[in-house]
Amino acid sequence: MEPGFLQRHYTVERKSDLDIIYGYARVSSAEQNERRQLIALSGVGVPPQNIFVDKQSGKDFDRPQYKKLLAKLQAGDLLYIQSIDRLGRDYAEIQEQWRVITKDKGVDIAVIDMPLLNTKNGKDLLGTFIADLVLQILSFVAQTERENIRSRQAQGIAAAKSKGVRFGRPRRDLPDCFADACRAWRAGRLTGVQAAKLCGLPLSTFRDRAKKFTDE
């Protein structure tokens, strides 16, 4: 074998230091801004080309960029996330994704907002125990807070409705001819299309309001 062959071969195949550091960011809707997460990831040295971002709800966890990231990760890589709830929508999912990344793929995870959650540090038994304990606590807290937010939203909506606040599209004012058009439609003198056109309303809107006309 030619001298130095293995060394040259290893150098070609080995990833560069930049290639082994990745970052993942997620926002729960297209309206939210991921800038804060991107700044945090850049601040710990993740190169822009290695940052994967999903802009959609975690409801079904069908996140295309997250899947691409998982396919790219290799044993020995390091993945940064800003907070633990970026990994999943609830306690069980956070735990499962953590297991897949750290155990199945052999990749380290570092949570920027919680330095104790860095599997690259403290590989001994005590360090692993502390990281696992902190992970369980934080993922439980993340799920509890999410449930509390939903509960407060539901309570706020219920309170607003009790005060007469209406949600959704505002109801269109009915034209003066609506009553006559409605009676003619019910009597068969006008078709639904004709009555709706007379009132300047979409057919579906006319039929919906006509059904409730006696109650108004």
Q: Has 28 been annotated as catalytic? A: yes
Question: What integer pLDDT is reported at residue 37 of this predicted model?
Answer: 93
Query: Quick check: 145 and 137 in contact, CB under 8 A?
Result: no
d(CA 180, CA 29): 46
Give, for all 216 residues of the chain, the pLDDT tens digit: 455 444 444 343 445 555 599 999 998 765 567 889 999 999 999 999 999 999 875 455 578 999 999 999 999 999 999 988 888 877 778 888 888 898 889 899 999 988 878 888 766 555 566 666 666 676 666 666 666 666 777 666 666 667 666 655 556 678 888 888 888 888 888 898 998 898 888 888 888 888 877 644
Query: Quick check: 178 and 214 in contact, CB under 8 A?
Result: no
What residues have CB less than 8 Å from 140, skipping those under 6 apart? 91
Closest CA to 24 of 86, 107, 105: 86
- Start-to-end Cα distance in the chain: 93
What residues have CB less than 8 Å from 50, skipping those under 6 apart? 18, 19, 21, 22, 23
Question: What integer pLDDT is reported at residue 80 of this predicted model?
Answer: 97
Question: What integer pLDDT is reported at residue 38 of this predicted model?
Answer: 93
Closest CA to 84 of 158, 123, 122, 136: 136
Question: What integer pLDDT is reported at residue 77 of this predicted model?
Answer: 94
Closest CA to 149 of 86, 89, 73, 60: 89
Closest CA to 22 of 96, 72, 57, 88: 72
Instruction: Indicate which residue of 28, 42, 57, 83 is catalytic.
Output: 28
